[in-house]
Structure 1
């Protein structure tokens, strides 16, 4: 099997396993807190039906494995807010329902904090300029210069270099920073140089004839990672970084919403400049979102190829994102369900089964439309 195909398949499998685990522990949080608050947990399922396997445990809960690997679920007795029998979710107090609904959010947040704590011990990627660390217990390490991408028909690509290659030296001159590579290639423009690099851990070298020009003499974009390592302060770094990333995620969602709204309404403007700016905002919104195909088909394979630390980091970020998303007042998500319950409680109106089902159905339909739109965008990106 071609190594590229293997990496994609392995990445997809890794992504499915990670996503199933993160959603399953989220749902398990709901189930545990529900039982502790007197609500009967009827079933805890991994994946979605049709069923592949089911067993009734000693505590009366049905544990099931299902064929669709899209996460997991818990089934509570009397899940509608209007249910009133003993053991029903609907019969729980407002405070008990709040704890049950937010339990999944808390579990995902804790999982993110634990994963980031582990990474702080072995090397936590530094992606924020002001990323938290304890100066007295911080070792900042820098990775090699990596070719993020190579430009077709330019020297790097013509020589056979590929994205992901790690540059070691040029004509014996060790390369330790992107700026150093840029300066070295500019100084040697028009010449043929020997580039030493590693690909998938294997050392190699290529003869590259640089362009005799003022710009793009090599033809690639560059990146370099930095990692924070800690010892006794790792738990502090893990929790604090989770808080930082939570805020950054919220800001990112706000920017996404702003780009989406201004982009949609800007398209209605008669002014051509405004419409052009609106199109840019819509493009930015589309580029910042990834759906199932983007996550499983592109992001996870890239992370899997980079190494286990990158997979753990991606899992932490996704867990954190699940936590943030489920606090939003979107019907069919935890935050939306709580918001609807709270709204009817404040208005002192009864939330009937019919009303609740209608609200959740509308919310679910909107979410599915968004998933379809984002998935189409993912497919489009794959074929660009």
Structure 2
């Protein structure tokens, strides 16, 4: 039950932000929005405000914004297809952009509450850093003459240099000072250490927002690197569908709220990147057609474009079904459902 409830909340939030991006940009561009829907299938709730109908539907696996003239020709000047190509591209890309903004917000909330690891340090008495001359409050600026920008970067560099002499440049009272430090190693892992701890900053709004932006870019980069490695065959292809994501969200919820928020941010970034791929039926695919329209100086035949998007949508649905069966097989979902049913008796 915890998995079900948290999954509905998380995916509902992700879908809402994505579709709200399309919706609000359309409204700001004076495009007539006929329908805003969260979920698919039978309607649970319907509210009409002015010209727009708002729906909550039974299946929380998506949503949509239905705009006037989006899929058909009309003479209405407020119709989507009668707006300039750049305006339409803004509407299309606003959804993925909102997913990235949501990730920034969630990561900022985490860092605001739990704190941000900085490049300022405290030293452990008797360890290599103190012996070399590094003091509490020093800010590590560079290692081996290469500038470092985060605590994770510092840890990564030092961890890969056990029993080596490294040059550490610190910033102290506005002055740059360099020290030669001989690293030690953890007994079990043999990772390099010098005996320093990060200074954690809590409840800083500006730093938290900066961390959210930086971490969102970093996660996006790692996802794209991983994807390129899968395409080139340098990494194992491992795709998780809705059932698998429900399981991941449920496990995160058991750990704690911050882990749940982090997983939600990670999924939101994945959703934003996925929708930007130049695949028909996705936002990225639609943006490609609009870019071609800008380059050609005239719109592409609406029926031909609609057919291409339909084929793309059908292929995506086929892929989703394949991944769904993969999830069911790996999670042994049938036995889990039997156990749940027996408990309910």
Q: What TM-score results when the alignment is normalised by the length of structure 1?
A: 0.62
The partner residue of 2:101 within 110, 124, 143 is: 110
Aligned partner of 2:55 in structure 1 is 64
Residues 214-237 of structure 1 show CA distances to partners (whole Å, capped at 9, x for unaligned) of xxxxxxxxxxxx997644322211
Aligned partner of 1:26 in structure 2 is 18
Structure 2 residue 293 is the aligned partner of structure 1 residue 360? no
Q: Distance in 2 between matches of 1:30 and 1:22?
A: 13
Instruction: Return 5+ residue gaps in structure 1 as ranges.
Output: 1-8, 125-131, 142-178, 184-225, 263-280
**Residue 346 of structure 1, CA deviation:** 2.9
Aligned partner of 2:318 in structure 1 is 369
Aligned partner of 1:312 in structure 2 is 261
Quote the RMSD (CA, aligned, Å): 3.0
Q: Distance in 2 between matches of 1:68 and 1:301?
A: 18
Residues 152-209 of structure 1 show CA distances to partners (whole Å, capped at 9, x for unaligned) of xxxxxxxxxxxxxxxxxxxxxxxxxxx77899xxxxxxxxxxxxxxxxxxxxxxxxxx
Aligned partner of 2:270 in structure 1 is 321
Q: What TM-score results when the alignment is normalised by the length of structure 2?
A: 0.69
The partner residue of 2:225 within 228, 248, 251 is: 251
Residues 82 and 351, structure 1, Cα contact 8 Å, conserved in 2:
no
Structure 2 residue 46 is the aligned partner of structure 1 residue 96? no
Structure 2 residue 48 is the aligned partner of structure 1 residue 48? no
Distance 1:51 1:26, change over 3 A: same
Residues 81 and 91, structure 1, Cα contact 8 Å, conserved in 2:
no
Q: 3-state SS of the aligned residue for 2:82?
A: coil
Q: 3-state SS of the aligned residue for 1:351?
A: coil
Distance 1:90 1:14, change over 3 A: same
Q: Distance in 1 between matches of 2:199 and 2:36?
A: 38
> Displaced runs of 4+ in structure 1, greater than 6 A?
137-141, 179-183
- Size of the aligned set, in residue pairs, is 264
Q: Distance in 2 between matches of 1:136 and 1:227?
A: 5
Aligned partner of 1:11 in structure 2 is 3
Map 1:1-384 to 2 at 5 A: 9-57=1-49, 59-80=50-71, 83-123=74-114, 134-136=118-120, 230-232=202-204, 233-259=207-233, 284-285=236-237, 288-296=238-246, 298-348=247-297, 350-383=299-332
**Residue 255 of structure 1, CA deviation:** 2.1
**Residue 323 of structure 1, CA deviation:** 1.1
Distance 1:84 1:352, change over 3 A: farther
Instruction: Return 5+ residue gaps in structure 2 as ranges.
Output: 122-138, 140-149, 153-185, 191-197, 334-345
**Residue 345 of structure 1, CA deviation:** 4.3
